[in-house]
């Protein structure tokens, strides 16, 4: 099948490479000329495990091409995926300008019957707007469908190649047959392709992300109660996660969700609910809890060291919003690092993949370290913001000698408080007892 994927970000690039891997002729189009030039050379502009060999293999075998000419990509394809960004608008709604710009380009370049799929996360009713935009510009038949993407950054290739399910909103038999053929190689183990009406497919994506964000904020709320009364949120998590009706996933307390999806999708769903006159109270609370949770470690630092942090140095491990990605969009680290800097502190950061992204945010205001222990050197305390694997079992003896004071603020609950106390650390985590060694170190 000749497939065009418009937008080569986390979703479009993975989808394009995935469709090429199953034998299709795929052209990926993007208006970002630098990105397309890099991709044409087989260089990947983002960090995503397993993506580079997938792209390079399909590029070499001629099934995958990259272009800035979106119109040409449309003309040579029977199936066109729209995978451009849908950032939040000022009022929280999804900004559809990129999606509709692509729809206009498609309309202007229609040269036969085509299937157009919105893969970007878009509010209910968007596929209808895309259809109207295209139909206003052409006499050729167009089938518009919704195929929201559920991949997770950090595991995007695996998620795309072996999805839990594929959700497709269609209203034509032809489009259903085309998409069934395209997706059949990805669901050979029996995972379902769920065909449904278009509006239901569009809502499914927001409902999924809003549900996951709700679980996170719910546990973060419970973690505050645990901290107040001396309980342990990790035990509570296990206590409820073993209930089959609840399940264990997405119950970890932490310092809030970030990334390019949950924050904006929760906002956009709140906006849609408001527009339809439905109470969005649950999701408004989810957002409020999350905003507060991103400031949790900052508050703990201020409680320990005071409001004025000038003369203090803090090490920060982990800047990406989660491990295995370089994506820092809406990451808790942005709030924490800015909060430390605003109070006069010096900040020394480490991240296995996101340092180049961090430079765009913090410029020369922090020092960047390629090795995690270099960031700790001479710091008054260490803050752990992302649960990257190399942080899970660090050399604590070395850490003690490098830190000016053995104080750790752990936003991801990587260590056991009792063990940290025995190792001589003052250890603050989320929703668990604060560990303080005897005698209490002088500040
Ligand atoms: N990132 C994720 O984990 C994820 C997961 C599921 C769904 N989504 C959704 O998928 C969509 C894309 O997300 P992303 O993270 O890949 O975005 P991204 O910002 O990484 O990439 C978007 C790309 O679209 C390009 N673009 C913008 N306007 C264009 C135009 N008119 N023509 C051609 N290209 C254009 C940009 O240059 C950019 O390369 C969003 O709606 C997002 O909500 C993202």
Q: Per-residue pLDDT for the chain (443 aa), expressed as one digit of tens each?
A: 999 999 999 999 999 999 999 999 999 999 999 999 999 999 999 999 999 999 999 999 999 999 999 999 999 999 999 999 999 998 999 999 999 999 999 999 999 999 999 999 999 999 999 999 999 999 999 999 999 999 999 999 999 999 999 999 999 999 999 999 999 999 999 999 999 999 999 999 999 999 999 999 999 999 999 999 999 999 999 999 999 999 999 999 999 999 999 999 999 999 999 999 999 999 999 999 999 999 999 999 999 999 999 999 999 999 999 999 999 999 999 999 999 999 999 999 999 999 999 999 999 999 999 999 999 999 999 999 999 999 999 999 999 999 999 999 999 999 999 999 999 999 999 999 999 997 655 55
Residue 86 beta carbon below 6 angstroms from any ligand 1 atom: yes
CA-CA-CA-CA dihedral for 208, 210, 211, 216, to nearest 10: 130
The pTM assigned to this predicted structure is 0.95
Residue 98 beta carbon below 6 angstroms from any ligand 1 atom: yes
**Dist CA 171 CA 324 (whole Å):** 37
**Dist CA 31 CA 37 (whole Å):** 11
Cα(2) to ligand 1 centroid in Å equals 21
Which among 57, 37, 46 has a CA at the least distance from the CA of 13?
46
- In what helix (H) or strand (E) does residue 27 lie, and over which residues does it extend? strand 25-29
Supply 248's token pair. Answer: 């264990």
Q: Atom 12 in ligand 1: which residue has the minimum CA distance?
A: 85
Supply 397's token pair. Answer: 């003896």
Query: Which ligand 1 atom is the nearest neighbour of the CA of 120?
Result: 41
Residue 103 beta carbon below 6 angstroms from any ligand 1 atom: no
Cα(88) to ligand 1 centroid in Å equals 12
Residue 327 beta carbon below 6 angstroms from any ligand 1 atom: no
Q: What is the DSSP string of 151-162?
A: --TTSHHHHHHS
Residue 253 beta carbon below 6 angstroms from any ligand 1 atom: no
Residue 118 beta carbon below 6 angstroms from any ligand 1 atom: no
- Which one of 48, 84, 146, 206 would you pick to mutate in the ligand 1 pocket, going by the greatest count of ligand atoms within 8 A of its CB? 84
Which among 140, 99, 155 has a CA at the least distance from the CA of 122?
99
So which residues are the catalytic ones?
261
**Strand bridging mode 193-196 / 166-169:** parallel
- Which one of 8, 9, 46 would you pick to mutate in the ligand 1 pocket, going by the greatest count of ligand atoms within 8 A of its CB? 9
Residues 6+ apart with CB under 8 A from 364: none
- The owner of tokens 């000038």 is 310
């Amino acid at each position: 099948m000749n497939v065009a994927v418009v937008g080569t970000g986390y979703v479009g690039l993975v989808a394009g490479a995935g469709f090429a891997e199953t034998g299709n002729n795929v052209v990926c189009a993007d208006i970002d000329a630098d990105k397309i030039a890099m991709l044409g050379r087989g260089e990947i502009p983002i960090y995503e495990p397993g993506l580079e060999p997938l792209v390079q293999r399909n590029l070499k075998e001629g099934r995958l091409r990259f272009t800035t000419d979106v119109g040409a990509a449309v003309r040579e394809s029977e199936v066109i995926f729209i995978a451009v960004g849908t950032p939040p608008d000022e009022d929280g709604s999804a900004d559809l300008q990129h999606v509709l710009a692509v729809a206009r380009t498609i309309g202007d370049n229609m040269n036969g019957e085509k299937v157009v799929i919105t893969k970007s996360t878009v509010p209910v009713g968007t596929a209808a707007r895309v259809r109207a935009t295209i139909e206003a510009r052409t006499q050729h038949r167009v089938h518009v469908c919704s195929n929201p993407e559920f991949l997770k950054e950090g595991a995007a290739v695996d998620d795309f190649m072996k999805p839990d399910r594929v959700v497709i909103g269609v209203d034509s038999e032809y489009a259903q047959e085309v998409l069934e053929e395209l997706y059949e190689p990805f669901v050979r183990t029996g995972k379902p392709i769920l065909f449904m009406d278009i509006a239901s497919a569009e809502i499914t994506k927001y409902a999924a992300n809003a549900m996951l964000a709700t679980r996170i904020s719910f546990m973060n709320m419970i973690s505050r109660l645990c901290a107040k009364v001396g309980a342990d949120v990790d035990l509570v998590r296990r206590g409820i996660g073993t209930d089959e009706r609840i399940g264990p996933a997405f119950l970890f307390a932490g310092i809030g969700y970030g990334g390019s999806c949950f924050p904006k999708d929760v906002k956009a769903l709140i906006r849609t609910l408001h527009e339809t006159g439905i109470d969005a109270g649950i999701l408004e609370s989810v957002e409020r809890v999350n905003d507060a949770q991103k400031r949790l470690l900052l508050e703990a630092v201020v409680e320990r060291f005071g409001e004025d942090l000038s003369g203090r140095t803090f090490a920060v491990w982990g800047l990406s919003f989660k491990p295995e990605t370089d994506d820092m969009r809406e990451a808790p680290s942005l709030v924490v690092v800015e909060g430390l800097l605003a109070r006069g502190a010096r900040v020394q950061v480490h991240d296995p993949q996101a340092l180049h992204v961090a430079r765009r945010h913090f410029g020369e205001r922090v020092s960047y370290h390629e090795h995690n222990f270099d960031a700790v050197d001479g710091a008054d305390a260490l803050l752990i913001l992302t649960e990257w694997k190399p942080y899970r079992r660090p050399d604590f003896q070395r850490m003690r000698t490098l830190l000016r004071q053995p104080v750790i603020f752990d936003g991801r609950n990587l260590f056991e408080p009792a063990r940290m106390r025995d190792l001589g650390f003052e250890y603050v985590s989320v929703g668990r007892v604060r560990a303080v060694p005897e005698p209490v170190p002088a500040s």
